[in-house]
Amino acid sequence: MERTALPGRLSWQLGEVVATQGETARAKSITLALPTWMGHRAGQHVDVRLTAEDGYQAERSYSIASPPEEQPHVTLTVERLDDGEVSPYLTGELRIGDKLELRGPIGGYFVWEAQMGGPLLLVAGGSGIVPLMAMLRHRAAVGSTVATRLLYSSRSSEEVIYSDELDHLVSSSTMLEVVQTLTRVQPPGWTGYHRRIDSEMLRAVAWPPGQRPLAFICGPTPFVETAAASLVTLGYDPVRIKTERFGPTGET
Give residues in contact with another protein (CB under 8 A). Answer: 1, 3-11, 45-47, 59, 61, 103-104, 106-110, 221, 242-252
217 near 228, Cβ under 8 Å? yes
Closest among 190, 67, 204 to 137, alpha carbons compared: 67
Q: Does a cis peptide bond (omega within 30 degrees of 0) precede residue 105?
A: yes
Closest among 48, 51, 82 to 62, alpha carbons compared: 48
Dihedral angle, C-alpha 11, 17, 19, 25, nearest 10 °: 80
| Comparison of 59 and 113: residue with beta carbon closer to another protein | 59
Q: Residue 61 CB, nearest distance to another protein (Å)? A: 5
47 near 104, Cβ under 8 Å? yes
| Comparison of 44 and 91: residue with beta carbon closer to another protein | 44
CA 72 – CA 54 distance, rounded (Å): 32
Residue type (1 letter), 68 = P
| Comparison of 16 and 59: residue with beta carbon closer to another protein | 59
Q: Residue 220 CB, nearest distance to another protein (Å)? A: 9
| Comparison of 30 and 218: residue with beta carbon closer to another protein | 218
Q: Residue 203 CB, nearest distance to another protein (Å)? A: 24
| Comparison of 123 and 169: residue with beta carbon closer to another protein | 123
Q: Residue 88 CB, nearest distance to another protein (Å)? A: 17
Q: Residue 4 CB, nearest distance to another protein (Å)? A: 4
